[in-house]
Chains A and B, each alone.
Chain A
Amino acid sequence: MLTIAILLPILAAIGVGLARNVSTGDGERRLQQVATVVAAVPLILLLVAWSRFGGSGGFEQVETVPWIPTLGVAWKVGVDGLSLPLATMTALLFVVAIAYPVDFRGRAAAYLALMLFLEGVSIGLFLAQDLFLFFVFWDVSLVAMYFLIGAWGHGDAARSALKFFVYTFAGSLPLLLAILALYLASEPRTFDMAELIRQQPLAGAGLYAMVVFLGFFLGFAIKTPMVPFHTWLPPAHVDAPGPASAILAGVLLKMGTYGFVRILMSMMPDAFADLAFPLAVLAVISIVYGALVALAQTNLKRLIAYTSVNHMGYVILGLAVAGVVAPGQEAAQRLALDGATLEMVAHGLITGGLFLISGSILTRGGTYEIAEYGGLLDRTRGLTVGTAVLAFASLGLPGLAGFVAEFQIFAGTLGVFPVLAMVALIGIVVTAALFLRMLGQMFLGPLPERWRSLPDLGRVVLGAIGLLVALVVLIGVAPALVLDVIDSFVAPFVAG
């Protein structure tokens, strides 16, 4: 079933990509509807998987097909408390992103095919229980995203796409080397994650383990992205079409943090514990730096992009806290890891929504410059409310998804790295400032003459954003829905 959730969109992508006669608006719309329906299937399958989820702490619903047994490679997918929420969030975000109206530039089939392909790949990454498979999905996602940005982006899209591709590919290669090092150290050699977690191949490998750690770290830190490896992010976001940005921020960035937990913390816990403090420091730098740089941005998308740096910093901070050796603080570590994982989901929904909205703003106003706008609340209630809720969620307002996650991270961090937590708290104020400033400048105040006829969001968009907002609220009000699943992974993990 999980296999279907991965392969169906990929195969459907081929079908959609070969679709003919979609040059007319009608044909495009119909194809988009078909693609949306296809995209929803994995979501349904994952929800079924969710309903069957037992919370045993290990991998469940595992499906294994030998792939390259000689090398210990298998098509092995499954879920646990970490991957299930992320995969489900991914599927959901893709449904929304695929349904989202976008300027196809006469190539609807290719666009939708790429999106579907990317959906399968992204879900696959989170479900993969095999490092080889994981890396396959990891790398392929870059290619699909490259074309999405390059072909449907705006501004200097080709260049931004190339920068994205080269930079993130540069990150994926150390990752590959590190995976290989892990593989070569295992006995019997295998790429199977569960087996590698059991074996802990590099335990006590000293300097070598550090080098391997560095490889993983580079790969994940670039993808996440952590300061100072983040400079690919703003141009990629600014020039990408709205839905692609949403996927980039909502899904692709999570791959980095997911990798931190799934690989570094699980397979090399000793090395991770040794380096957790520097990692936490880097995370705090990301938090504060990302927030401050975002504050200075005048471009809506750049602003949101930098808040991603900030939020991903929270995630890493939570991970570092959970990974360090801190006797007596297991509860705090559990809290931190719960929070960090939830933050991945929450950030996916929130920032995904914000990027979708900024895409709509661009199609309406033709620019991302915040200062160009003003008083839009007058014309666009739906747009404003959606933006405001998501912005508040992003700045961590209780009752919305971001708060639960961030609060747990902070509370956990205070138990382990109190000073860092205090510094990181600055981020909360700065993000509040920048989002409120953005909201104020764009939606409040007097309405400039040129926007008198700005249309509000269409039905599809409202529905899409509404769905995300509803989920953000739902998680914010009843986080246990997701946290219980997450904790089924976290509690045994932290307990060791």
Chain B
Amino acid sequence: MILLAPLVPLLAAGAGWWLLPRRGSGWLLLVALVLTMGAAGWVVASSTRELTIGWGPVLSLSLGATAFGATMLLLIPAIAAPIIGYAYVTEAASRRSLVPLLLVFVATMELLVLSRDLLMLLVAWELVGAMSWLLIGHRWRDPGPPSAARITFITTRIGDLGLYAAAGVLFAATGSFRIDAIMALDRPAADLVAAGLLLAASAKSAQVPFAQWLFAAMAGPTPVSALLHSATLVAAGAYLLIVTSPLLGAVPWFLPAIALVGLVTAFAGGVVAALQSDAKPALAGSTSAQYGLMFIAIGAGAPAIAGAQLVIHAVFKSLLFLGAGVAMHESGSGRLAGMRLGRLRPVTALLSAIGLLALAAVPLTGGGWSKEAIVAAADERSVLVGTLVLASGALTAFYAMRLGLLMWGPGQRGTAREERPRLRADDLTMLPLAAGTVALSMLWLPGGAAWLAGADGRGFDLFSLLLSMGVIAAGALAAVALDRRGTLLAPAGDRGAELARTWLGFIPLFQSAVARESMRLADTLARFDARVVDAGVRLIWRLTRTLSRAIAYRDVVTVDGAVRAIGSGTLLTADLSRIADERGVDGTVEGTGRAVGRAGLESRRLQTGMSHEYLQLIAAGLAVALFILVIAR
């Protein structure tokens, strides 16, 4: 029954392929989305806690909803439904392929959060990655998206290696792939598993140094970006750590390492978001930063709060992406420079503003709550980290404000078409997300936190709250101030924009240092393969040939051939040195063939056609035979 959760969207996807081109398919889609959510809800509610599928004599797959898994299980379709609706509305031309793929994407992600063992997790994990390739490359006729999809897949796959390793080590140490078995690990194995998981999660959640793939992922259609930033692909990394970090208490460096990664990413992503001049990449930067905050929370030993942040972020980030999609559609490009669509799409602007407030972590929004909780949790561990998180709030507020102004600011009166505010279909799909964002403000209510994060509903101390507000205000005001001065688009000038475009230099680093160098290595090896690999074989053949030539010199077998023998010895030496010389140049098997062929020609010289030489050969040969007989004892 647990399988229902992923199966329903999967079936819906199949049905969608057939039905979507028809009329009235919108309603069917709605039904499908509701069913998907229903299935998830039913699984959460049902009493079946775990399902184990035999996958082979040694392998088995375990599925089941853990506490946080259940939350995710519900969150994913909830976020996905509006997004898919948005996709249905805005991508009419390609909805037949896009919508089913998104549904499959949801299915794989649901499978992921249902996983109770690392094998199942890896399966879902890789499938999520593969789906991202299909989705990001969805506009495959353009030259860009396919390679962007490739970068995404490969970068995340580098991280996947960590998961492979973790799964293997876990099995080797405990004989099981079960996630709860991680608890039982002893140190060296636990270290390996921890490292593997951290690698996998960092790559998937776009943490430094893998963060830049998110930029590439922007090549996909907006709904894809919205989904993979919020509840799917990227969320998988944080989800993994939220689930596993409590089990790896045996590894002392694990949590600090997570926190460090998160902290670095939070700042780096913030800077990138603040400097970025395109809408979606700016949001991508912010995604990295926000997941950085989650990592900090996990590192601070508060995975529950990280989970809350994951949920909250999912809701408002998908809202923001849909808004960005509208903005891009309206402005015709993704460049922030040409937007300020507040007058054109006031409703959309309003909905986005809700999301931006949450992003900026303004108190009394959901985002605000989770950020305060993270600060508090970090403070408990280390005041320095807490302070840094607090400071990063300014950065967040700055780029949130910046985005708000640049995308949805009122703009020049009269330059854009002005219309009566009305709710359009795409706005409609944003509405549930905006509502969700607002609803999450209830976390501030006493006890509100308990149901989401399972955390204690403790209040925040007033001082830090005020401090946060101050920091946020400072950030926001800075944005406003820059806007006044007209430099908000490029706060740090061209160099800053360049830095942002290259993800602080990570993109060239990866492209040249990793991708190009491995390509060069591959090319070198290929040349090596074509020329030199057989050198050993060839050497043997050459020696054979030289030897046969030495034998073939008919003079060697006679007495006065002694001189010749010396001569052919010299030849042999010459040959050897030439072989050494040619090794690097020409080492093909064909070389081998030629060598043997020459041996053939040489040996034919023995057959001179002159019978007296045959006779001489007999005499000499018999002498040699006698010699062999005499010495053979």
CB atoms of A and B under 8 A apart anywhere in the complex?
yes
A491 within 8 A of B: yes
Pair A331/B171 contact, Cβ less than 8 Å = yes
- Complex CA distance for A418 and B59, rounded to whole angstroms: 20
Known: A437-B150, A478-B55, A480-B56. 6 other contacts (CB 8 A): A230-B533, A411-B177, A418-B172, A444-B137, A479-B56, A486-B57
8 Å CB contact of A338 from B56, B141, B154, B529: B56
Give 6 pairs: A residue, B residue, CB < 8 Å, sorted on A.
Answer: A231-B588, A292-B526, A414-B168, A440-B137, A445-B142, A445-B146
Report chain A residues within 8 Å CB of B127. Answer: 397-399
Pair B142/A408 contact, Cβ less than 8 Å = no
Pair A334/B164 contact, Cβ less than 8 Å = no
Chain B interface residue count, Cβ-Cβ cutoff 8 angstroms: 55
Report chain A residues within 8 Å CB of B589. Answer: 163, 167, 231-232
Report chain B residues within 8 Å CB of A296. Answer: 519, 522-523, 525-526
Pair A292/B525 contact, Cβ less than 8 Å = yes
8 Å CB contact of A403 from B123, B137, B150, B169: B123
Pair A332/B172 contact, Cβ less than 8 Å = yes
Residue of B nearest to A288 (CB): B525
Majority secondary structure of chain B interface residues (helix, strand, loop or mixed): helix
Interface centre among B126, B143, B593 (most CB of A within 10 A): B126
Binds B, one of A64-72, A353-361, A421-429: A421-429
Pair B168/A415 contact, Cβ less than 8 Å = yes
Interface centre among B169, B518, B519, B529 (most CB of A within 10 A): B529
Of the four ranges (under 10, 10 to 19, 20 to 34, 35 or more), the interface on chain A belongs to 35 or more
**B122-147 residues at the A interface, CB under 8 angstroms:** 122-124, 126-127, 130, 133, 137, 140-143, 145-147
Pair A444/B56 contact, Cβ less than 8 Å = no
Pair B169/A445 contact, Cβ less than 8 Å = no
- Complex CA distance for A255 and B403, rounded to whole angstroms: 62
Binary contact track A396-439/B, C-beta < 8 Å → 1, others 0 = 11110001100110111111101001100110111011001101
A293 within 8 A of B: yes
A-B pairs under 8 A by CB, number: 172
**B interface with A by C-beta (< 8 Å):** 54-59, 119, 122-124, 126-127, 130, 133, 137, 140-143, 145-147, 149-150, 153-154, 157-158, 160-161, 164-165, 167-169, 171-173, 175, 177, 192, 518-519, 521-523, 525-526, 529, 533-534, 536, 588-589, 593
A295 within 8 A of B: yes
8 Å CB contact of B168 from A411, A432, A439: A411
- Complex CA distance for A234 and B12, rounded to whole angstroms: 44
Residue of A nearest to B144 (CB): A445
Q: How far, in Å, is A338 (CB) from chain B's closest CB?
A: 6
8 Å CB contact of B161 from A334, A377, A429: A429
Q: How far, in Å, is B51 (CB) from chain A's closest CB?
A: 15
Binary contact track A479-493/B, C-beta < 8 Å → 1, others 0 = 110011011001100
Report chain B residues within 8 Å CB of A486. Answer: 57
Binary contact track A256-285/B, C-beta < 8 Å → 1, others 0 = 000000000000000000000000000000
**A404 with B164: in contact, given A167-B589, A292-B521, A335-B171 (CB under 8 Å)?**
no
- Complex CA distance for A478 and B167, rounded to whole angstroms: 20
Report chain B residues within 8 Å CB of A334. Answer: 57-58
Interface centre among B119, B142, B153, B525 (most CB of A within 10 A): B525
Binary contact track A91-117/B, C-beta < 8 Å → 1, others 0 = 000000000000000000000000000
Pair B154/A432 contact, Cβ less than 8 Å = yes
8 Å CB contact of B57 from A167, A399, A478, A491: A491
